[in-house]
Amino acid sequence: MRIELSEEAKELVKKYLKTEKQKTYNYDFFIDEEKYIKWEDVDIGMEAWSERVFEVKAEDVEAYLEATENYNPIFRDEEFCKNTVWGKPIAPPMFLTTIAFWLVGDSFVGSWVKTPGAINPGQKIEFYEPIRVGDVIRAKMKAFDKYIKRGKRYLTYYVEYVNQKGDLVAKWWATLILPLTKSHEEHKIEGVWR
């Protein structure tokens, strides 16, 4: 039996979908679950460039600022920024999250980040060139480490983000705790086996 996102969840998501990217993104992470790379399939050292690129549009940054209740003029006010070292608005540092999820798509090497039930234990990131509207970002991902701690399966990817000029934007050591098996969480539901 296939697990699906509940109607209640879908309703709420639809209410907040605004940008072109949001509207074309598959928001039901159960649908392609079979395609996501699993913890046991990852070989350390596996490396790949993202198949997609992220073209930074004003609406992408605006939606992110709104959702994070960020009202700093540095991230949106052209006039204000002229009198600062930034010259013009930049995207907030953690806008990188949106870029990361867009770039992994449905079957890319980092698709495990979409595994239902995956837990975020914390992240380490170094920031370089700021991201601005109009930039085109892509990423190189490398399987960096996997280990089991207190019975939990950790996976770390090392990801370098670069812009259209080839400038390094960020280095991200992205770690998640993955469920024991893909359907591990669902096994807890009485009567549901796949």
Partner 1 sequence: MVRFSEVELEQPLPTIVAKVTQEMITKFACASLDFNPIHIDPVWAKKVNLLGYGKTIAHGQWTIDKLTQVITNWCYVDGGRLKSIDIKLIHPIFVGDTIKFMGKVVAKHPRKKDSFCEIELWAENQNGEKVAVGVAEVYLP
Give 58 or 67: the residue with its C-beta nearer to partner 1.
67
Task: Report the C-alpha gap between 176 and 121 in whole angstroms.
Answer: 6
Q: What is the DSSP string of 13-71?
A: HHHH--SHHHHHS---TTTTGGGSPPGGGPPTT-EEE-SS-EE--HHHHHHHHHHTT--
Site string for partner 1, 102-121 (x = CB under 8 A): x-----------xxxxxxxx
What character string, x for contact with partner 1 (CB under 8 A) and - otherwise, covers 117-156? xxxxxxxxxxx--x--------------------------
**Which residue in 184, 169, 172, 177 sits closest to 136, CA to CA?**
169
Asked whether the beta carbons of 137 and 99 are under 8 A apart, the reply is: yes
For 126-155, b/e burial (b = at least 16 CB within 10 A) is eeebbbebebebbbebbbbebeeeeeebbb
Q: What is the Cα–Cα distance from 91 to 57, expressed in whole angstroms? A: 10
- For the bound state, the minimum distance from the C-beta of residue 40 to partner 1, rounded and expressed in Å, comes to 20
Q: Which stretch binds partner 1 (CB under 8 A): 41-49, 88-96, 133-141, 157-165?
A: 88-96
| Least distance from partner 1 to the Cβ atom of residue 19, Å | 8
By CB under 8 A, the count of residues binding partner 1 is: 58
Work out whether 16 is an interface residue with partner 1 (CB under 8 A). Answer: yes
Least distance (Å) between residue 4 CB and partner 1: 9
Q: Does residue 194 interact with partner 1 by CB under 8 A? A: no
- Judged by DSSP in three states, 139 sits in strand
Q: Name the pairing type of β-strands 54-55 and 47-49.
A: unpaired
The two three-digit tokens of residue 82, written as one number: 């002229």
Q: Which stretch binds partner 1 (CB under 8 A): 13-21, 37-45, 144-152, 154-162?
A: 13-21
Between residue 28 and residue 87, which ones bind partner 1 under the rule CB under 8 A? Answer: 28-30, 63-64, 66-70, 72-75, 84-86
The binder of partner 1 chosen from 6, 43, 45, 151 (CB under 8 A) = 6
Per the DSSP assignment, residues forming a β-bridge with 162 are 138, 168
Which residues make up the interface to partner 1 (CB under 8 A)? Answer: 3, 5-6, 8-9, 12-13, 15-18, 21-22, 25, 27-30, 63-64, 66-70, 72-75, 84-86, 92-94, 97-98, 101-102, 114-127, 130, 185-186, 188-189
